Amino acid sequence: MLKQVLFIQGGGEGAHAIDSDLAASLARLLGGEYEVRYPFMPNEAAPEYIDWKAAILEELRALGDEAFVVAHSVGGAVVVRLLAEVGPPKPLAGLDRDHQLNGDLSEVVQDIRAIPVS
């Protein structure tokens, strides 16, 4: 079974298209053992917490146990608030929330690979 990674985009006009390079790079760096999911968040140009919370919860529920979440910019803020308010619907292996994910994803990849997944 593939290990799952949920990548949550940042906000702003065209953010999903822009962050798709990061999600693709992450998938490439992690290799074939991992499935990187990259959903489109609603109203990305003017993100609303309640809308993103619902979309992210739906994505989290669709994951298996012990998935890893990577969240960029406003996506990270929403994920942290959501987890503080309601907790994860399933056990997570980890969370990497970075306000400014850049082209160098080596630390994120290290974080993901360092966590043993049962």
For the chain, percent of residues with pLDDT exceeding 90: 79
pLDDT for 118 equals 59
Residues 85/112, Cβ–Cβ less than 8 Å: no
pLDDT for 117 equals 61
| Full-model pTM | 0.92
Domains and CATH numbers, the chain: 3-114 (3.40.50.1820)
Write the pLDDT tens digit of every residue in 2-15: 999 999 999 999 99
Listed residue (48, 83, 84) closest to 67, CA to CA: 83
Please write down the HEC assignment for all residues of 26-87.
HHHHHCCCEEEECCCCCCCCCCCHHHHHHHHHHHHHHCCCCEEEEEECHHHHHHHHHHHHHC
Residues 101/109, Cβ–Cβ less than 8 Å: no
pLDDT for 99 equals 55
* Cα distances (angstroms) measured from residue 9 to each of 1, 15, 22, 63, 114: 25, 7, 9, 17, 23
pLDDT for 102 equals 63
